[in-house]
Chain A
Amino acid sequence: MKYVVLIYGNPESRTAWAGMPEEQRAAGLAYYQQLNDDLDASGERVVSERLADVSLTKQVSVQNERTITTDGPFAEVKEFLAGFYLLDCESLDRAVEIAARIPEARFAKVEVRPVMGLHGDEM
């Protein structure tokens, strides 16, 4: 079963991260590396990425067949998508167990959503 883990940041979590001493930040990154290594070893990580700053977002819309982009948001938003994992694991319980290892689960927000597939039972 595939699950997406969505990791949200918020202004407080970002400030806390920026204010951390160097060693603590390095430890945080090492912690993520360990998580990724573990998930690679078990074959459960399909892909994961950390996203660039929310201010680098391009919002895209098509109006009258023209593509229009707007930058931002720049103003402090309450929460923003900061990264994601695509997992392929045995069950929702296992996906939740993995999500709980993500540091943001302690001070920001982490969501687990099942991915839809092309399977279809006979009705």
Chain B
Amino acid sequence: MTTPPIAGLLRELAPQVLGALVRRYGGFDTCEDAVQEALLAAATQWPVEGIPASPKGWLITTASRRRIELWRADTARQRREETVAALAPPDPDPAPAVDDSLTLLLLCCHPSLTAPSQVALTLRAVGGLTTAEIARAFLVPEATIAQRISRAKQRVKAAGAEFRLPGADRAERFAAVLQVLYLIFTEGHTVSSGAVVNRVELTAEAIRLVRQLRAELPEDGEVAGLLALMLLTEARRPARTRADGALVPLAEQDRRRWDAGAIAEGVELITTSLATTPVGPYQLQAAIAAVHAEAAKAEDTDWPQILTLYDLLRTVAPGPMVTLNRVVAVAMVRGPDLALAELADAERDPVLAKHYRLDAVRAHLLDQRGDREGAREHYLAAARRTLSIPERAYLESRAALLA
């Protein structure tokens, strides 16, 4: 789904308008509600009345009025003195807009929030999506997302979070932002296309937000790495599902359907960033995606290089999925027997022992080794454990091929 021009413009302006209001008046929660209402007003009025000469100014004025109305309606709140200054809408271009969206991102990914709340708040306050769009994207009722956002704002307020860049905990706070942006991406990437009509493309939104972040932090290797990872992963999207929604494994994808433009941009980004900045987990994952992308045929894949990258990734950012994916690379380089031995080691991790992917990988390795019965059994075990309908269908079809 491509974004209509007005919706795209509104999403672009949303964090700038919100930043201007919060700077001027303070009170992130009320300002955020006011901006959301201004965006909704624009979405209904602009298509009829035309886009105003200064869209940003229009939104700031409308949101400022709504903020005062909300503020007045809020009788429970202690009445503070309204100064004349507080009534006048802020200058449309008071400070560089980019700084504001970074500060907003950090606020939305505040450590006092759970991951789903960080995601919902980021999409609304920084991404400029409506509550309804977020709800459709996550297949939950609008009221659920509305509650989640309003609760998240209360929490941010209660935690005493301020609208400024963090100090001592800077590295952790930035890491949380990247994680939330990646979560938004994977949410969009893993869902079957066409599953829901009028669904916002979360992958496109995530890429847009990372591009925005990169404009502010052009020297940051991990931001570049994350953008490259997203582009290289998204490039495979046209090939990773069949028309009926069935999953196509990487080795069987029609590589001519990969998006060459996205691959070129992703490869360029990761090559530059690996050469110039300290290495991090997103860069390593992007580098692995780039090696896959550079193979015209699955057989041409440079598995020894992939294994080296997984070895590094395991040192920099160990995790159960890294362990499993590395085992697959081990099988390609050193054969399934050694990989199965490593898998037996990996199984000692209680998180992995119960995970369907462990069975899926074991089935794949047994299949490579020619053990059809064992492979079938583990494909079926994996099919029983997955929470994904397309994955279950895929794993069952693999099992059926071995019957």
Contacts and interface: CB of A to CB of B under 8 A. Distances in A.
A119 B147 contact: no
A123 interface: yes
B370 interface: no
A43 B148 contact: yes
A121 interface: yes
A83 B143 CA distance: 21
Given A40-B147, A88-B140, A118-B388, A123 B191 contact: no
B145 interface: yes
Nearest to A42: B151
Interface string B381-403: 00000111111101000000000
Contacts of A122: 236, 240, 247, 249-250
Most buried by A among B115, B138, B144, B247: B144
Given A118-B195, A120-B192, A122-B240, A42 B147 contact: yes
Nearest to B391: A120
Contact of A41 (B147, B192, B249, B388): B147
Interface in A48-62: none
A71 interface: no
Given A42-B147, A46-B144, A88-B144, A120 B250 contact: no
Given A41-B147, A42-B147, A120 B247 contact: yes
Contact of B390 (A2, A88, A118): A118
A123 B195 contact: no
Contacts of B146: 43
A118 B137 CA distance: 12
A89 B147 CA distance: 13
A116 B389 contact: yes
Nearest to A123: B249
Interface in B106-146: 114-117, 138-141, 143-146
Interface residues of B, number: 38
Contacts of A12: none
A65 to B, nearest CB: 27
Contacts of B115: 90
Question: For the side of the interface on A, what is the size category?
Answer: 20 to 34
B200 interface: no
B313 interface: no
A76 to B, nearest CB: 33
B159 to A, nearest CB: 16
Interface string A71-112: 000000000000000001110000000000000000000000
Interface in B169-227: 187, 190-192, 195
A117 interface: yes
A44 B117 CA distance: 11
B360 interface: yes
A90 B116 contact: yes
A46 B143 CA distance: 8
Most buried by A among B115, B143, B187: B143
Given A90-B116, A123-B249, A43 B388 contact: no
B247 A43 contact: no
A88 B141 CA distance: 10
24 contacts: A1-B387, A2-B140, A40-B143, A42-B147, A43-B146, A43-B147, A43-B151, A46-B140, A46-B144, A88-B116, A88-B138, A88-B140, A88-B144, A89-B116, A114-B387, A118-B389, A119-B191, A119-B192, A119-B391, A120-B191, A120-B388, A120-B389, A120-B394, A123-B247
Interface of B: 114-117, 138-141, 143-149, 151, 187, 190-192, 195, 236, 240-241, 245, 247, 249-250, 357, 360, 386-392, 394
The 8 closest A-B pairs by CB, nearest first: A43-B148, A43-B147, A120-B390, A123-B249, A119-B190, A118-B195, A118-B192, A120-B391
